[in-house]
Amino acid sequence: MKIESKTMHFTSPLYLESGRILEPYEIVYETYGELDEEKSNAILLCHALSGSHHAAGFYENDRKPGWWDAMIGPGKALDTDRFFVICSNVIGSCFGSTGPMSPVYPGEEPYRLRFPVVTVKDMIRAQRQLLSRMGIHRLRAIIGGSMGGMQALQFAVDYPNFAQTVIPLAATYATRPWVIAFNKVAVEAIRRDPRFKNGNYDRDAFSEDGLDGLAIGRIAGHISYLSPESMDSKFGRNYVATDGLFELFGRYEVERYMEYNTNNFSRIFDPLSYLYIVKAINTFNLSRGYDSLYEAVKRIRADLHLISFSGDYLFFPHEMEHLYRMMEREGRNCTYHCIDSDYGHDAFLVETEKFEHIVKDILKEG
């Protein structure tokens, strides 16, 4: 499988939904497979909050492959013998595309809190510019989970004829208060951490010790990505063998797991980027800019295939089913699959064996 990582630089302005302008800006992206002569076999893969453009394969010294490696490659659901898969890092992120710690042109001082608020609409507008620069004006498919699914849906509404097929997983049509409340824990934990310094921290200030506020906030997020059943199965009531039951800060295995994962995360993810991307998730509303959700959904011309997970406690299955009912009412080509899973929201990343055949079959058509 041919893998390439590139950076595209744009000098033309990116007009944001807020009315502000981002100029210049960069997008980092990774591609898998080969683009055919007609440029008709391209699939856009959209990543979630903590994801990046690195979706498959290994970088040098990597212990883990890209975040959807199980789905991308020869003979896999996103078959790189047939398709050219593109995954771009969203604007606002900290993995190469222009974000809050990028320098303000023409100087070297970072934007920090001067960076404009970006929305899911802005993310896909930037991706649309990237694809145009690549000479790709129609996609075979757009696919993504969680925030990636939001991007896929927004593409389907805002650019109705741009993709033949759209496959959102574990997503919603509008972020609900339940999710915003979980995100609020992270936002406040970051803002109230003295080392955050209102965004005026040094570059790579947290690469060794992390930021406690981000680690704490990530615990709340991580809880929402799992489910009670998956925690029971993974940890039970097991206690850390080296900790005493009657020690005040002795830990259950689930506590140790949260500490380990969130502390590592706070070393590699920039807290300002986390705040900006969470804002984009919170403000997501497919109907914004249209008279109603129904009017927005009526614009969709792509074949829409919705996938949810029964144990998802972040974006509940009935939210995706609601979109399916609207599409069904309009007589549009739409399918809905609710995957039986106790894992939780992150099932779209972890339990690929439960739905990869669905994606593969969808992409075989047409």
pLDDT at residue number 235: 97
Catalytic: which of 97, 146, 230, 341?
146
124 shares a domain with 263: no
pLDDT at residue number 230: 96
169 shares a domain with 71: yes
> In angstroms, what is the C-alpha Rg of the chain?
20
Specify whether 146 is catalytic. yes
pLDDT at residue number 60: 83
Is residue 173 within 8 Å of residue 323, measured between CB atoms? Answer: yes
Specify whether 322 is catalytic. no
235 shares a domain with 128: no
Catalytic: which of 312, 337, 341, 346?
312
138 shares a domain with 26: yes
148 shares a domain with 14: yes
184 shares a domain with 168: no
The CATH code of the domain that includes 190 is: 1.10.1740.110
118 shares a domain with 28: yes
Catalytic: which of 47, 54, 305, 345?
345
- Residue (of 1, 31, 77) closest to 352 by Cα position: 77
127 shares a domain with 56: yes
User: Which residues constitute the domain of residue 259?
Assistant: 179-280
Residue 362: CA count within 13 A, CB half-sphere:
28
Q: What are the residues facing 28 on neighbouring strands?
A: 7
For the stretch 212-259, pLDDT in tens is: 999 999 999 999 999 999 999 999 999 999 999 999 999 999 999 999
pLDDT at residue number 366: 59
pLDDT at residue number 330: 87
Give the ranges where the chain is alpha helix by DSSP (H). Answer: 120-133, 147-158, 177-191, 212-225, 228-235, 253-268, 271-282, 293-298, 317-329, 347-350, 356-364
359 shares a domain with 339: yes
Specify whether 312 is catalytic. yes
Q: Can you list the residues of the chain whose pLDDT is less than 70?
A: 366
> What's the total number of domains in the chain?
2
Q: What is the DSSP letter of 302?
A: S
